Amino acid sequence: MSTVSTRAPARPAPATDRNPPSRRRRQVRERQWPAYVFLTPWMIGALVLTLVPMAVSLYLSFTDYNLFDPPHWVGLRNYTEMLTDDPRYWRSVGTTMLYVVVAVPLKLGLALAVATLLKNLDRGRAFYRSAFYAPSLLGASMSIALVWRALFNDGGTVSGILDSVGIHAGGWVGNPDLAVYVVVLLTVWQFGAPMVIFLAGLQQISPDLYEAAALDGAGRWRQFVSITVPMLSPVVFFNLVLEIINSFQVFTPAFVISGGKGGPADSTMFYTLYLYERGFTASHMGYAAAMAWMLLIAIAAITLILFRTSRSWVFYADEEGR
Amino acid sequence: MPEPRSGRRPLPRRAVLAAAAVGLSTALTSTLSACSTASGSTSSGVTLTFSWWGNDDRAARTEQAVRLFEKEHPGVTVRTSSGDFGAYLQKLATQAAGGGMPDVAQLDYRQVSQYAGGGALMPLDDVMKDKTIRTSEMSRDFLRTGTYKGGQYALPMGRGITGYAYDAAVYKKAGIPAPQPSWTWQDWEKANKGIAALGLKSPDGRPYTGANDGGGNEDVFETWLRSRGGKLYASQTELGFTEDDLTAFWTFCDRLRREGAIAQARDTVQANSTETSPIGRGLAAADFTWDAPFPGYPVLLGDSVHFAPVPTTDGRQGAYFKPSMLIGIGAHSEHPKEAAQLVDFLLNDQRVGDILAFSRSTPPNRKIAARVAKTLKGPEREIYEYAQTMERYGLDAPPTAPPRGDVAVQTAFIREYQRVMYGLATPRQAARELIDEANRELRS
């Protein structure tokens, strides 16, 4: 986004042929300075709020900074410790992976299913679209996570309903086997954003294809598998990458639902929550910085793998002739 | 820990809002008074910042005391800020890291070493020597709780002690004598089994048990350990107990819970106030807690709830007087003299004693404590008398402030015991993991 918007004003106006090349270049340079002036706030922001903190964070990840004493260089100790000597680190990786593997397919599946239903809906489409989209707008807030916590707490609505049908699970929030699914459900409930993208993708598919398939005697399911899925694969890919990156960084719901502690028994100790705990509760900022860089590397690696594999399953209509 | 999770006085939303409102209004009034004093006062305008945590009652009383200080020290304005415990600790840590520590700050026992070691607190030895801060009416042993590597960095603001809130009516029904200062952990086990054997039901139909499960509570473990002659920390970098000690303690609690004598795992996990504790929800007959939050129990549960000593090992008490909170001066304070005056005023002025009363547990100043004690009744009288009884019974001297890694060790303690409760680890595995983690925390 930002690169597009920043380049636009910097593009030189087409110079006329009457000017000799050297003068033209100077003129171009002269005309560029307002662009840089207008860019300054953005550049200062990028430098001060992004690049410098990133550099500091990288430096701190090689130190034992504890907020109070000046940081000491410890080399790779933070990294080796998290990889070889910290069982909680690997548990947090496991919890996060479990969450990604369960929540992302569920969320995208639901989003696609609802989008398919909405596509063929004539009346009230706008209403349903907004209704399903609303949770995506609300869901990231603290208040919804608090409501969620109250729903799934011991004595809350969910345990009450389950009790009345004879399932005595107690509060999900206080049960280490179920607590992570409270967070999963909260995420899946926010399927509105990918749904809207799916809906847009579905509307791009030419009705001719369906008509032709129907003439050939293909049923609804056949049409879905043979037309919708391949035609939609770029959109699926886009949503998948986006959701996976987001899911690795899940924080707010886990923080609120577990009261910031990742409990019970570390069952909702997601990677980012553990990172926060190391940094702000245990005052190991160096370790937390190292964890952040490991997360960045992991997300980059997974995104790269996704892009590599996408060549075999993502189908772009404009590539057809190549 | 002064205001432990299991026994912190319930802090209703209203109280938080009220405290916030008080904070806001004082922020406004102090700015206004700063304007008014700047014009007509003799000394130059000095502004001190003072922050603390607590409920609305404490906030109102503290404000009153601070206003009195301002009146007596024309030209000095005190800007106050307060919050609830959890948020306060994080805010203070961030402020301290940025060099913006308040001039005067209320501190948790667990913060003292970290802040003193990190150079965020001013050493108080000089201002104590020149009597700017007077400590003659305080117990020498007790002052030790604010020291780090031999220097005094903080002073206790209140004296608290662990205890045991129990329902005397249930104990009577089960034929168990009222707990005495010499009752043992075996007596405690027998009492819990006796109560469970009554076959009572909680409001939601589940079996009623003897007590909350203290296995995840570092304070209860410390009491147990001290009653056996041990201690939590051998030094600022070393644990004072072994894997075997912790395994024994967790095996004991784990067994009692499995036998149904103490609260179930799911109830222990969600207990974080008087209302949500097993006793508060009608699930158990007793709760390990502190003296300061105790008056909340009879209010919630009725007059049959009393405050008793924690169990001993063969008569040796593990409880000790602990600072409920401390007060310190920021190392980079621009007005250390005035800050010291404020600290002295809060700790030693008789009128302040009357205003603050027991809002921060028993005042450390003996004269003030005795004076305020005369006005006590009901549960407050009970905890005062409890402290007197325990003092007569004989307690070991308190340890110095816990090492800087203790905050992390304490949360690890809860978490590792949760792993035991849910069968994710055996007591020994959990104990080994805790010790590994504690050693990492203490080393760095």
pTM, full prediction:
0.77
Chain-chain contact of A174 with B269 (C-beta, under 8 angstroms): yes
Contacts of A58 by beta carbon, 8 Å cutoff, 6+ apart: A289, A293
Task: Return the SS3 of B13.
Answer: helix
A175, A282, A283: residue with CB nearest B266: A175
pLDDT digits (tens, 9 = 90+) for B388-435: 899 888 888 888 778 888 888 888 898 899 999 998 899 999 999 999
User: Is some CB atom of chain B closer than 8 A to the CB atom of A175?
Assistant: yes
Cβ atoms of B48 and B77 within 8 Å: the answer is: yes
Residue B118 identity (one-letter amino acid): G
Cα dihedral sign, A180-A186-A189-A193: negative
- pLDDT tens string, chain A, 322 residues long: the values are 344 444 444 444 454 555 555 666 666 667 788 888 899 999 999 999 999 999 999 999 999 888 777 888 998 989 998 898 888 899 999 999 999 999 999 999 999 988 888 887 778 778 888 888 888 877 667 777 788 788 887 777 787 787 777 777 677 777 788 888 888 888 888 888 899 899 888 888 888 888 888 888 888 888 888 888 888 888 999 999 999 998 998 888 888 877 777 778 888 899 999 999 888 877 888 999 999 999 999 999 999 999 998 888 887 766 554 4
In angstroms, what CA-CA distances link A190 with A95, A111, A135, A271? 20, 9, 5, 21
Separation between Cα atoms, residue B205 and residue B199, nearest integer Å:
11
In angstroms, what CA-CA distances link B435 with A82, B225, B283, B428, B442? 17, 15, 32, 10, 10
Whole-number average pLDDT of chain B: 84
User: In the 8-state DSSP scheme, what is residue A172?
Assistant: S
pLDDT of the residue at A321? 45
User: How many beta-carbon pairs below 8 A join chains A and B?
Assistant: 81
User: Is some CB atom of chain A closer than 8 A to the CB atom of B11?
Assistant: no
Separation between Cα atoms, residue B156 and residue B361, nearest integer Å:
11
A chain contacts of residue B441, beta-carbon cutoff 8 Å: 282
The position carrying tokens 């009577």 is B172
Q: Give Rg (Cα) of chain B.
A: 22
User: Is some CB atom of chain A closer than 8 A to the CB atom of B332?
Assistant: no
Chain-chain contact of A67 with B93 (C-beta, under 8 angstroms): yes
pLDDT of the residue at A213? 87
Separation between Cα atoms, residue A53 and residue A58, nearest integer Å:
8
Cβ atoms of B233 and B239 within 8 Å: the answer is: yes
Chain-chain contact of B114 with A283 (C-beta, under 8 angstroms): yes
B residues 182-211 closer than 8 Å to A (CB):
204
Cβ atoms of B207 and B284 within 8 Å: the answer is: no
Chain-chain contact of A69 with B114 (C-beta, under 8 angstroms): no
Nearest CA in chain B to A285: B97
Separation between Cα atoms, residue A282 and residue B124, nearest integer Å:
27
Separation between Cα atoms, residue B140 and residue B147, nearest integer Å:
11
Query: Rounded to a whole number, what is the distance in angstroms from the first to the last CA of chain B?
Result: 22
User: Is some CB atom of chain A closer than 8 A to the CB atom of B276?
Assistant: no
Contacts of A251 by beta carbon, 8 Å cutoff, 6+ apart: A270, A272, A273, A276
Chain-chain contact of B266 with A85 (C-beta, under 8 angstroms): no
- Of the listed ranges A293-297, B44-48, B233-237, the least confidently predicted one is B44-48
b/e string for B345-378 if b means 16 or more Cβ within 10 A?
bbbbbeebbebbbbbbbbbbbeebbeebbeeeee
> How many helical (H) and strand (E) elements, i.e. helices and strands, does chain A have?
16, 0
Cβ atoms of B398 and B142 within 8 Å: the answer is: yes
- Number of other CB atoms surrounding residue A309 within 10 Å: 11
pLDDT of the residue at B39? 36
Chain-chain contact of A87 with B433 (C-beta, under 8 angstroms): yes
User: Is some CB atom of chain A closer than 8 A to the CB atom of B444?
Assistant: yes
Separation between Cα atoms, residue B297 and residue B280, nearest integer Å:
8
Chain-chain contact of B440 with A170 (C-beta, under 8 angstroms): no
Measured in angstroms, the CA of A279 and the nearest CA of chain B are apart by 11
Q: What is the mean pLDDT of residues B145-172?
A: 90
User: Is some CB atom of chain B closer than 8 A to the CB atom of A81?
Assistant: yes
Nearest CA in chain B to A155: B204
B266, B405, B408: residue with CB nearest A154: B266
Task: Output the DSSP codes for B239-268.
Answer: ESS-HHHHHHHHHHHHHHHHTTSB--HHHH
Chain-chain contact of A176 with B424 (C-beta, under 8 angstroms): yes
User: Is some CB atom of chain B closer than 8 A to the CB atom of A156?
Assistant: no
User: Is some CB atom of chain B closer than 8 A to the CB atom of A174?
Assistant: yes
Tell me, rounded to whole angstroms, the distance of Cα B155 from its chain centroid. Answer: 14
Mutate to test the interface with A, among B85, B413, B444 (most CBs of A within 10 A): B444
b/e string for B105-131 if b means 16 or more Cβ within 10 A?
bbbbbbbbbbbbbbebbbbbeebbeee
Task: Let me know how long chain B is.
Answer: 444
- Number of other CB atoms surrounding residue A30 within 10 Å: 9
